[in-house]
Amino acid sequence: MGEASNVARWRVLFSGRVQHVGFRYTAYYLARGLYLTGWVDNLPDGRVVLEAQGSPLRLQRLVAQLRSQPHIRVDRAEIEKLDPVPWERRFEVRGYDR
């Protein structure tokens, strides 16, 4: 299975109607369903930042699925490729304690 050996990590900055619409928890459930690790958090400027790790195909699927949610409007998704974090084992929602 070549997909599993091809691990990438993306930081994605989402702009649009992405806060106060359940974006972080939607990202959490979608990422877990795709067996991705990483995290998602709100930014003070109204954007959402997500770091996810897994196969490039699954990362593409995550971004596409987030774009297609009826309650979310993604105007822009800026992708930055990062080095994988080998010890990361789960996907989490950050910032809910603010």
Q: Which residues are catalytically annotated?
A: 24, 42
Q: Evaluate whether 24 touches 41 at the Cβ level (below 8 Å).
A: yes
Query: Residue 36 — left, alpha, or beta (φ > 0 → left; ψ -120 to 50 → alpha)?
Result: beta
Q: How many alpha carbons fall within 13 Å on the CB side of residue 81?
A: 6
Q: Evaluate whether 23 touches 48 at the Cβ level (below 8 Å).
A: yes
